[in-house]
Amino acid sequence: MKGCHIGAGVSPVGGLIGALLLAGLGAMPAFAGAAPDAFDVELRDGTAVRGDISILKHDRLFLRDGARTLDVGLRDVLLLTASGGRSSGPERARTAGAPAADRLHLAPCDGVSGPGDQLVGRVVGGDDLGIRFSLEGGPGFDVPFEFIDRLLPRATGPLDRLILLEGGGFDDRIWRRRTDGALDGLTGVVDNVSAEGMAVDSPLGLVDFELDEVLAVVFADPERRSQARWDAPVVVRLVGGSRFEADLLELGDGEIVLATQFASRLSLPLATLASLTRRAAGHVLLSELTPVVEREWPSVGEDDDFLFPWRRELSVSGAPLTVGGVLRSSGLGVHANSRLTFELPEGAVALRVTVGLVDEVLSLPAEGSVTFDVEVDGELRAGSGVLREGDAPMMLRVGDLAGHSRLVLRTGDAGDFDAGDRAAWVDGVLLLGLSP
């Protein structure tokens, strides 16, 4: 698989070999100072294991599970999600996916569907070449202006509107709110950025702005970078809301080390990792597919009255995808009622996907209730029944896809009004050439 990459080369994880083995604690390699970090790990064959990550060594992931050790081959890992420290109920609704501070959206690579990397942290400086940015718990790194799609300083919402603000074509556009609540858009060229503000070369001359007064900066036609081959490509979601593609270099001793498009070697505390999805030749992420047919309609009214179209890697409100208290690294945000039709990729033999309402529904005045159904070539193959806000997410599995061509994901309103029916298909993987 390939992923965007900027910066000097690094020593990547080598060939991915191994299988699931269970051993006594005595078989566990001794790694002094390894901090317990509980994660749920799902393997290609459907096996789910839970343990405290100790270390990734020679392409094998070692987890402690009580009195035994789980020795997992990295090539067999599909998904890794944090299993401890999750909030629930109304508290979860307030905290899930909340921006840490500033948001930096990068342009996707050539050939990549959906949004590029989305970073949540803090602008810590910059110059006339780019922005110096820092993720929570990590060091600062420099991002050139030409690779940035937009900067949302001190973003608190509504993210869906900030993401839709338009740019200035060949120039940058700076958006700010006037005292009467209306928006002002100034077109020019961002000349310099600091932790406190920015200077913009505009038709009015050089204009200084404090970051606190800027709603968004939409940069001019960002450059779409070429892809570089990575040995252990993953999609990472951090607890602060950041989501980006990376190469997994090291894992354990309380930290995760990644090579990314914005930093050639990025070390972060393992406690900042919410979820991680592996990308490999043996499977395709559902969120990477583009529907060949889309239909979305409200419970009452015409199709044109539908307010919240589906989004890739985001909820329909533009917020990070949080389902069951977990920030998901991949998925499709949808609203009832919707019907998304996909062409099955060549070699697909099985689908596994988790469904549920997004956690932001818990803070809405309207209650949410939805149904999820999977059709394959017109045949109903899996369904969730009615899921309501607060219900645990459900995993749907569909096998025997060989020889079939079309996959349909239906999200229904459960027979009532759809006002609070914000939902998601998350952690979806189509397995290639492997029985479920």
Along the chain (436 residues), what's the average pLDDT of each consecutive run of 10 residues?
A: 38 30 30 54 87 83 83 88 54 42 85 77 92 88 91 80 84 89 89 92 91 92 70 90 91 89 90 90 91 91 83 88 90 95 95 95 92 97 95 94 97 91 95 69
Three-state DSSP at 146 gives: helix
**CA 179 vs CA 182, 184, 211: distances in Å:** 7, 10, 16
Phi and psi at residue 411, in whole multiples of 5°? -120, 115
- Closest-CA residue to 2 (of 76, 110, 119, 115): 110
CA distance 343 to 412: 21
Tokens (6 digits) for 116? 């590029």
For each of the domains in the chain, give its residue range(s) and CATH number, in order of start.
Answer: 98-218 (no CATH), 284-432 (2.60.120.1060)
Sign of CA dihedral 387, 389, 391, 392: positive
CA distance 81 to 61: 14
CA distance 201 to 336: 45
CA distance 261 to 223: 13
**pLDDT for res 228:** 63
**pLDDT for res 224:** 67
Three-state DSSP at 287 gives: helix
Sign of CA dihedral 319, 324, 329, 332: negative
DSSP state of 212: G
Tokens 């061509």, residue located: 405
**pLDDT for res 304:** 77
CA distance 124 to 245: 22
For 184, other C-beta atoms within 10 Å of its C-beta total 10
**pLDDT for res 123:** 94
**pLDDT for res 32:** 31
Q: Apex CA 171: angle with CA 166 and CA 176, to 5°?
A: 50
Q: Against a cut of 0.85, is the pTM above it?
A: no
**pLDDT for res 48:** 87
